[in-house]
Amino acid sequence: MAVSGIVPIIDFAPFLTGSQAEKKEVAEELFKACTDVGFLMLRNIDSLIPPSQVSSAFAQTKQFFDLPMEVKEKLAWECPESNRGYVAEGRERVTQESSKEAIEKLRAQAPDYKETMEIGKDYKDGPYDSPFENRWPETDLPDFKPFMNQFFEDCHRLHVEIMRALALAMGLGEGFFDDKVNQKAHNLRLLNYPSIEKAKIEGGGNRAGSHSDYGTVTLLFQDSVGGLEVQDKQGNFVPARPVDDTVVVNVGDLLMRWSNDVLKSTIHRVVLPADGDPSEPMTARRNSIAFFSNPNLHEMIRCLPGTGEPKYPEVETEAYLVKRLGETYTK
Ligand SMILES: O=C(O)CCC(=O)C(=O)O
Ligand SMILES: [Fe+2]
């Protein structure tokens, strides 16, 4: 099987359109990647998200971050309960640390050199919905809102198919997660890593510090710059070089917990691209788009049947996510 570093590349088309036997085969490959590495790349997802749409998503992302700072600041992210809006450089410092003091120290010594825009589900159709509103640059970029809302829906559909594949492989029945992830409590995050002097992120600095993600699975679209690294079982960081027309998929902490540690949420980070020209003092701007998929906000996450003696008490999705987000952001 093709790989990028330690990350297997899986053709998803036979799961989406193949026979039952083909579906099962892909589901098992996906499950194996999620138990071994916690990361994989999917190709042939065109029927859900065509490459042209991914290119437009990057174009919109760039246009958004190119807006004047005073426009972006008016859309500022306010609180973990909402988790929507613009996050200026220095506000989020991702890490596995959970003490406020340790995180503040890291933020001062080695901040994440990135800015982000966080988008949630944009409409309300049930009592379970978050009461918070998205923050849109409606006058400055009128196409942004409809485009991102469509992209959010498409990512949701891909995420549902991935959860179906995992459920099938785990013997839970393909539809097991359907009504547990259908309220779209997800977070679409656009990322901009500005071009900066390499010296700033060499020797301990980061574009994104080492961390794991929080939800079920993350769908990550990366441009061709590179810099994403995934930790192997020995603790080494291995570059996951971008592969055209693929989406990176990684397991988040809630899915790891739900699966009683069968599926692995793996530490990753974003640093200087592995293949950069050493004589060049600046590193190129990088953009990526992450779709953090989550269970329904009020879903109680209990270790799944068939995964052995539960290692964790049950936890509600919302309480878990708000706690994690609250740890890593600053005002
Ligand atoms: O930009 C990337 O490639 C990864 C970003 C990431 O890991 C995150 O935002 O959780
Ligand atoms: Fe991440």
Give the pLDDT confidence of 30-76 residue by residue, as tens digits. 999 999 999 999 999 999 999 999 999 999 999 999 999 999 999 99
3-class SS of residue 103: helix
Give the atom of ligand 1 at the shortest distance from the alpha carbon of 94: 10
Radius of gyration of the chain (CA): 19
Output the pTM of the full model. Answer: 0.96
Q: Is-contact 195 102, C-beta < 8 A?
A: no
Tell me, in angstroms, the distance from the centre of ligand 1 to residue 208's CA: 7
Cβ–ligand 1 distance for 270 under 6 Å, the answer yes
The values of phi and psi at residue 231, to 5°, are -80, 135
Closest CA to 117 of 70, 155, 154, 75: 75
Compute CA 63 distance to the chain's CA centroid, rounded to the nearest angstrom: 21
Provide the pairing of β-strand 39-43 with 246-251: antiparallel
Give the pLDDT confidence of 113-125 residue by residue, as tens digits. 999 999 999 999 9
In angstroms, the Cα distances linking 239 to 35, 135, 274 are 19, 34, 7
Ligand 1: which of 288, 292, 293, 328 to mutate, most ligand atoms within 8 Å of CB?
288
Give the atom of ligand 1 at the shortest distance from the alpha carbon of 189: 9
Cβ–ligand 1 distance for 290 under 6 Å, the answer yes
49 Cβ contact list (under 8 Å, min separation 6): 151, 154, 155, 158, 247
Cβ–ligand 1 distance for 262 under 6 Å, the answer no
Of 55-64, 184-193, 201-210, the one with minimum mean pLDDT is 201-210
d(CA 237, CA 252): 18
Note down the domain range covering 58. Answer: 3-328
Give the atom of ligand 1 at the shortest distance from the alpha carbon of 269: 7
Closest CA to 200 of 274, 276, 282: 282
The number of domains in the chain is 1
Tell me, in angstroms, the distance from the centre of ligand 2 to residue 84's CA: 17
Domain of 162: which CATH number? Answer: 2.60.120.330
> Which residue type occupies 163?
M
